């Protein structure tokens, strides 16, 4: 900072010149540092801006009941229509909603699970008032009458709107589900906890259904 | 003027159909959306705010709502 003036002080003009040079050098280094700081600040600002700011809806669909899946897909299609990125993560009983009737080779235990789990969105039970399948039939009838889109229709719509569907591979292994018995869905991937956490972390809305 | 008739359809269909139609339209064009879902007035307002579309008008007719939306 305070650079010592040259030893020879007899010529005041020479000394003034030196001081001028020293000041110039100092100014240059200061301006370089301030530039460096401003780029650092800009980088920090962009990090802060992106934290929890991504216009994205992430959903864990854990439940395999019709009512919860209606809620999940109403929000998914609604968010996609709002221009948000939507990422759904299907796990445990939720995976049943993505099944389609298909014959696949399985072990006896897997076959038993496969037989007990609903084969697709059309076969889902209600979480309440299921009444041995009478409840869902009634709800479906009312939905049709009231103009509420069915889960199957909303899955088709989700495809069109670019809703991303991820399926937990661990759940599939546990329940003995094979990729061949899941519906055709363009943006469907198999993933684990890390993929969900990484995807959901910067998003604004995350739901567990 | 292009029109979406979402009467008889419930949430989120009126918004989804409007969004889909507007996506295909050119900036400055307007779309009329007709719906009888009770949530429609609040939803179309929210949708326009979020997606920066202009809600030109929102009228409550006798049995339905009519919104006019302009693409930015």
- Three-point CA angle A179, A58, B72, nearest 5°: 115
Least Cα separation, residue A86 to chain B (angstroms): 14
Share of chain A above pLDDT 70, in %: 91
Q: Which residue from B minimizes the CA distance to A73?
A: B12
CA separation for the pair A84, A182 (Å, rounded) = 26
Interface of A with B (CB under 8 A): 74-75, 77-78, 80-83, 146-149, 157, 160-161
CA separation for the pair A66, A72 (Å, rounded) = 10
The confidence band for A111, taking pLDDT boundaries of 50, 70 and 90, is confident
pLDDT of residue A47: 66
Interchain proximity A81–B16, CB inside 8 Å: yes
Among A21-25, A74-78, A80-84, A175-179, the minimum mean pLDDT is found in A175-179
The confidence band for A50, taking pLDDT boundaries of 50, 70 and 90, is low
Q: In what order do the strands lie in the sheet with A85-90?
A: A188-191, A164-168, A85-90, A54-61, A203-208
More confident residue, A11 or B7: B7
For residue B33, list its beta bridge partners. B4, B67
Interchain proximity A147–B15, CB inside 8 Å: no
pLDDT surpasses 50 at A1 = no
Catalytic residue among B3, B8, B11, B59: B11
pLDDT surpasses 60 at A10 = no
| Residue whose structure tokens are 């399948």 | A133
The confidence band for A65, taking pLDDT boundaries of 50, 70 and 90, is very high
Write down the mean pLDDT value for chain A: 87
For residue A58, list its beta bridge partners. A87, A206
**Which ipTM was obtained for this model?**
0.81
pLDDT of residue A52: 60
Residue B24, SS3?
coil
The confidence band for A11, taking pLDDT boundaries of 50, 70 and 90, is low
DSSP A118: -
DSSP assignment of A142-160, as one string? HHHHHTPPPHHHHHHHHHH
Among A15-24, A40-49, A159-168, the minimum mean pLDDT is found in A40-49
End-to-end CA distance of chain A: 62
Among A109-113, A144-148, A171-175, A177-181, the minimum mean pLDDT is found in A109-113
């Amino acid at each position: 900072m305070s650079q010592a003036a040259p030893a020879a002080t007899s010529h005041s003009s020479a000394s003034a010149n030196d001081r001028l040079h020293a000041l110039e050098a100092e100014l240059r280094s200061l301006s370089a540092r301030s530039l460096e700081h401003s780029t650092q600040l800009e980088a920090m600002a962009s990090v802060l801006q992106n934290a929890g700011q991504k216009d994205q809806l992430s959903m864990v669909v854990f439940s395999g009941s019709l009512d919860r899946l209606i809620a999940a897909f109403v929000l998914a299609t609604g968010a996609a229509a709002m221009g948000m990125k939507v990422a759904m993560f299907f796990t445990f009983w939720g995976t049943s909603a993505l099944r389609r009737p298909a014959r696949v080779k399985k072990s006896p235990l897997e076959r038993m699970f496969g037989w007990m789990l609903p084969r697709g969105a059309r076969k889902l039970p209600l979480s309440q008032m299921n009444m041995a399948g009478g409840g869902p039939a009634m709800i479906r009838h009312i939905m049709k009458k009231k103009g509420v889109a069915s889960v199957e229709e909303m899955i088709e719509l989700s495809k069109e709107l670019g809703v991303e569907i991820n399926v937990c591979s661990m759940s599939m292994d546990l329940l003995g589900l094979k990729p061949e018995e899941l519906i055709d869905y363009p943006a469907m991937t198999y993933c684990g906890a890390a993929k969900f956490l990484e995807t959901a972390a910067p998003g604004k809305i995350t739901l567990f259904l | 003027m292009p029109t979406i008739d979402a009467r008889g359809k419930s949430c989120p269909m009126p918004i989804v159909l409007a969004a889909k139609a507007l996506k295909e339209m050119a900036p400055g064009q307007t779309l009329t959306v007709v719906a009888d879902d009770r949530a429609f007035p609040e939803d179309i307002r929210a949708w326009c705010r979020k997606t920066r579309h202009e809600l030109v008008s929102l009228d409550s007719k006798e049995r339905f709502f009519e919104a006019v939306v302009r693409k930015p």
